Amino acid sequence: MVKKKAVNKEKVKSELTELEKFYIEQKCRDGVSLDEIKKQKIYPASLVEQLDNQTVAEVQDENKITAGKLFSRKEDYGAVVMTPQSSEFADTKRETSKSPKIEQKETHIHKFRQ
């Protein structure tokens, strides 16, 4: 009788569990580096890196200063007021527009007959 060898087939993970995703996202938001997260031996490492990059991008978008965040708000009355800081910030971000016709007229010298 021939004995069959027991083969250890490890199941390869193709996605992260909800708990692993939550852990990685929270560590990224707390400012922990990717190397520290990888020490926890969460596999597959490519998915860990991908989730880390997504979370870092989301945090940067949330922390980005906008003119709307500089508005003064009074939640009790539902009032929103544009502060001088928000106005200046909006002015710096606004593109100046000049139509091409105006530029052409400014560069020409007109002579009239007398």
Query: From the CB of residue 81, how many other CB atoms can be counted at a distance below 10 Å?
Result: 9
Q: Which tokens hold the place of 35?
A: 């190397």
Q: Which tokens hold the place of 25?
A: 């996202």
Q: Which tokens hold the place of 63?
A: 């922390």
End-to-end CA distance of the chain: 122
Question: Per-residue confidence at 4, pLDDT binned at 50, 70, 90?
Answer: low
DSSP β-bridge partners for residue 79? 74
Query: From the CB of residue 102, how many other CB atoms can be counted at a distance below 10 Å?
Result: 10
pLDDT of 56-93, one tens digit each? 999 888 888 887 888 888 888 888 898 898 888 888 88
Residue 110 has pLDDT above 80, yes or no: no
